[in-house]
Amino acid sequence: MSKLAKTIAVAAIFLFAFGMLLPAAASAGKVIKLHHLNKDDPFDNPTGAMATVFKSLVEAGTNGSITVQTFPNGQLGKDAAVTQQVKAGVIQSGIHSVGGFAATYPMMGVIDIPFAFPNISTTYAVFDGPFGKKLAADIEKKTGLKVLGFGDSGGFFNFTNSKRPIKTPADFKGLKIRTMGLDTHKTIISALGGQPAAIAWTEVYTALQTGVADGEMNPIPIIAFAKFNEVQKYLTLSGHLFAPYVWVMNKAFWDGLSDNEKSVVSYAARSAIVAGRGIARVIEASDRGLPALARDMEVNSLDPAAKRQFRDAAMPAVKKLITEKYGPEGVEMMNAFLSAIEESR
């Protein structure tokens, strides 16, 4: 064998070996890098279920032409910053909290009307129906992101605190309640007579433990996962807000999919959202949810008359804020939201 032939043979072997070492995704075609906020465990939390189901259905449905890589626990950065990564095409998709997504689409606040939903099934009808499509279209128009759907972050928000049972709005007087940094959430607390305190999620447990905040509001599964029962004594089943996950995809990546791939991705996302909702309800009702919290906390549920008192105190203030902050466009979206709830009743 000549020197040239040996050189070519060595180079070929090297290139073959190097190719074998490349990740499968590099040679499999299209890759969806998917951000979500929680553990990559389908039985642990809603986004874990969503990511797992989505990955399985997409990869199977496209015969491997699309590979899904999941990035759990917010490992790519803070939620608001990751939304910008999706817009820029650094990653292809993200399942975002409303708090994180509001930095990109501020008008998410129009869905923060307190005590608007009669039950959890109505939330699904509203966000899967014409209003959900209207909201998605507005998000796509203003952000350039493709909306895959609206997931369940754990159910309705409820109040916890370390001072006293909350049975009427008067019980909020003097209580410092942690909220997300959303004006609508702060307004709810202020309207009920409490003091809102915007505290980063990573600091909430310590804030409750040390008395920087007296209470907070979150869905039952999140209260349980965060072990707030260790630093909170009272749980009020108020069910006053529903904050969906907003699932988006980079628009250029979406446009680059074939018609069949788009069909598979859309179907997979819808199925994943249903799976996430189911996991949220199971966790809420199981020993990892309300029954476990009830062992350590005093739990009370607001009856219809009490809910009317809370709604009458908080709803007008939030509507006023939306009107002033978002103008006629926000009022139109808010009214469409409330009409969708009434129609779904």
Q: Where are the domains of the chain?
A: 9-153+244-285, 157-242+295-344
Shared fold status for 9-153+244-285 and 157-242+295-344: yes
Question: What is the pLDDT at residue 14?
Answer: 32
Q: Collapse the DSSP code of 301 into the 3-class scheme (helix H, G, I; strand E, B; otherwise coil) and give the result.
A: strand
State pTM to two decimals. Answer: 0.88
* Mean pLDDT, residues 139-158 taken together: 97
Among the listed ranges 43-52, 65-74, 195-204, 266-275, which one has the minimum average pLDDT value?
Answer: 195-204
End-to-end CA distance of the chain: 82
Confidence of residue 184 (pLDDT cuts 50, 70, 90): very high
User: Among 151, 222, 217, 207, which Cα is nearest to 185's?
Assistant: 217
Over 90: is that where the pLDDT of 16 sits?
no
Architecture of domain 9-153+244-285: 3-Layer(aba) Sandwich (3.40)
Question: What is the pLDDT at residue 22?
Answer: 37
User: Among 144, 150, 175, which Cα is nearest to 162's?
Assistant: 175
Question: What is the pLDDT at residue 48?
Answer: 96
Question: Six-digit token pair at 69?
Answer: 């890589």
Q: How far, in Å, CA of 322 to CA of 343, rounded?
A: 22
How does the average pLDDT of the chain come out, rounded?
Answer: 91
Over 90: is that where the pLDDT of 13 sits?
no
* Mean pLDDT, residues 263-292 taken together: 96
CATH superfamily of 157-242+295-344: Bacterial extracellular solute-binding protein, family 7 (3.40.190.170)
Q: How far, in Å, CA of 331 to CA of 110, rounded?
A: 8
Question: What is the pLDDT at residue 52?
Answer: 98
Q: How crowded is the C-beta side of 123, counted as CA atoms within 13 Å? A: 28
Question: What is the pLDDT at residue 200?
Answer: 85
- Angle of CA points 34, 219, 223, to nearest 5°: 95
Phi-psi region of 255 (alpha: psi -120 to 50; beta: other; left: phi over 0): alpha
Confidence of residue 7 (pLDDT cuts 50, 70, 90): very low
Over 60: is that where the pLDDT of 59 sits?
yes
Question: Six-digit token pair at 238?
Answer: 């108020």
Confidence of residue 325 (pLDDT cuts 50, 70, 90): very high
* Mean pLDDT, residues 180-201 taken together: 94
Question: What is the pLDDT at residue 73?
Answer: 92
Question: Six-digit token pair at 197?
Answer: 């305190």
